[in-house]
Structure 1
Amino acid sequence: MNTHLQHLENLREIRSIMDRSSRFLSLSGLSGVAAGVCALLGAGVVKWYLGSHYLLSRSFYQTTPNWDTIFFLGAVAAVVLVLALGSGIYFTQRKARQNRQTIWDSQAKRLLLNLALPLVAGGIFCGALLYHGLVYLIAPAMLIFYGLALLNASKYTLRDIRFLGLSEIGLGLVACFFIGYGLLSWTIGFGLLHILYGTIMYVKYEREAPAHT
């Protein structure tokens, strides 16, 4: 009996070593929570700037906004992105130090490459939508391409991120049929889903077992 248990323990250790060698496991759940909070703050600023009635007007999504509005939305998105990336790097570095792992290795490079490809394609596609005046499809497209990026990157990090990717894709597809709720879908996808995912990951991998890999 003891021999059997020892074999099981050895198999678990071998699997853990294989995972560490092929996956980037230093992603922190707190990174997701911080990114979600940044997205909620950004959505709040946009709603304050444009006004709730204007945001829910179909005409806003069916016509190209003036350049002042475009620049403002772009600036808010850029600030949210910088804050989310900054907090993500901080919490990921902290978790890597706790687990005595390096943050910039071959696994991290593969993760970023597979994450970046759909995001770049999505950014170009959203630019094309704006160019053609299809503003009402930009928020759903962002969610769909972001979900595809997470799905593509899930092969090189925690498998749980796959479910977040599928949720983002599903939300984006639903949002395609509800013009006038672009900001709401964006807020749910980049804000609430990130907070929910990050909280689950933190409880599952960090709070109870800080060194879990």
Structure 2
Amino acid sequence: MESKDYLKDISEIKDLMNKSSRFISLSGISGILAGIYALIGAAIAYWLVTEYSSGILILNGKIFRLVMLDLFLIALFSVVTGIILTTRKAKKNGANIWDTSSRRLVINFLIPLVAGGIYILVILNQQKYGQTGALMLLFYGLALVNASKYSIGDIRYLGFIQIILGLICAWLPGYGFWLWVFGFGFMHIIYGTWMHFKYDVKK
């Protein structure tokens, strides 16, 4: 009987240590909404390109800038939604939204993402547009894998998928737009739904 109690105590201690070192208040709904934003933004970008630039993005500077604004708004809405819903979930669970684990999560997520973003801006400035989608997927995937050490470990699987999609996109640049849509749109919806029912819905 005592050995069972010891095992239970050890399990509880291990669980507390894991929670204290990882930020586990990420919202599955925010992932779903991020995917929806990406699909809406992709539809707008596709319409802009096909309707106003004959499908040749690099020949129309104004359309290109509008597409970049579209991407920026997708990222902005996704980040703001994620912050709001994650903060709400953390408060509901009595967790601190900004502690050591959440700071580590943000820092480790931003390092590959910011480096990748700067690199993408550099090559766009050089008018090298062909690998933009692949690079977005790759650096985003690396950011997820890097941050997974300080959050729900399952996000690394989404990161692996994004990396694989990025490599396929680099190999088949002609399908870059559709791979971007699948990675940032449908995969976020699928992943967010899975995470919502696994962690957010009370059993």
Could you state the TM-score of these two structures normalised by the residue count of structure 2?
0.93
Q: For residues 66 and 48 of structure 1, what CA distance do their matches in structure 2 show?
A: 14
- Partner AA of 1:9 in structure 2: K
**Residues 129 and 135 in structure 1, CA contact (< 8 A), matched pair in contact too:** yes
Q: For residues 207 and 5 of structure 1, what CA distance do their matches in structure 2 show?
A: 30
**Are positions 1:47 and 2:40 aligned together?**
no
In structure 1, the partner of 2:4 is: 5
**Are positions 1:191 and 2:191 aligned together?**
no
**Are positions 1:66 and 2:60 aligned together?**
yes
Q: For residues 184 and 153 of structure 2, what CA distance do their matches in structure 1 show?
A: 19
**Are positions 1:141 and 2:117 aligned together?**
no
Q: For residues 145 and 104 of structure 1, what CA distance do their matches in structure 2 show?
A: 25
User: For 1:85, which of 70, 73, 79 is the aligned residue?
Assistant: 79
Structure 1 alignment gaps of length 5 or more: none
Q: How far is the alpha carbon of 1:105 from its aligned partner?
A: 1.1
Instruction: State the SS of the aligned residue for 1:208.
Output: coil
Q: For residues 6 and 32 of structure 2, what CA distance do their matches in structure 1 show?
A: 38
Q: How far is the alpha carbon of 1:104 from its aligned partner?
A: 1.0
Taking the TM superposition and a 5 Å limit, the aligned residue runs for 1:10-21 are: 10-21=9-20
In structure 2, the partner of 1:24 is: 23
- Partner AA of 1:182 in structure 2: G
Q: For residues 91 and 115 of structure 1, what CA distance do their matches in structure 2 show?
A: 18
In structure 1, the partner of 2:104 is: 110
In structure 2, the partner of 1:174 is: 168
**Residues 25 and 89 in structure 2, CA contact (< 8 A), matched pair in contact too:** yes
CA deviations 1:185-204 (Å, max 9, x no partner) are 11111111111111111111
Count of paired positions: 202
CA deviations 1:81-124 (Å, max 9, x no partner) are 11111111111012101210111111111111111111111111
Q: For residues 4 and 186 of structure 2, what CA distance do their matches in structure 1 show?
A: 42
User: For 1:201, which of 189, 195, 201 is the aligned residue?
Assistant: 195
Structure 1 range deviating more: 91-100 or 152-161: 91-100
Q: How far is the alpha carbon of 1:11 from its aligned partner?
A: 2.1
Q: How far is the alpha carbon of 1:40 from its aligned partner?
A: 0.7
- Which aligned segments of 4 or more residues in structure 1 are displaced greater than 3 angstroms? 2-5
- Partner AA of 1:74 in structure 2: M
Q: How far is the alpha carbon of 1:184 from its aligned partner?
A: 0.8
CA deviations 1:151-201 (Å, max 9, x no partner) are 110110000011010000000000112122222111111111111111111
Q: For residues 156 and 65 of structure 1, what CA distance do their matches in structure 2 show?
A: 43
**Residues 116 and 149 in structure 1, CA contact (< 8 A), matched pair in contact too:** yes
Q: For residues 4 and 45 of structure 1, what CA distance do their matches in structure 2 show?
A: 62
Q: How far is the alpha carbon of 1:6 from its aligned partner?
A: 2.5
**Residues 48 and 63 in structure 2, CA contact (< 8 A), matched pair in contact too:** no
**Residues 23 and 155 in structure 1, CA contact (< 8 A), matched pair in contact too:** yes
Q: How far is the alpha carbon of 1:126 from its aligned partner?
A: 0.9
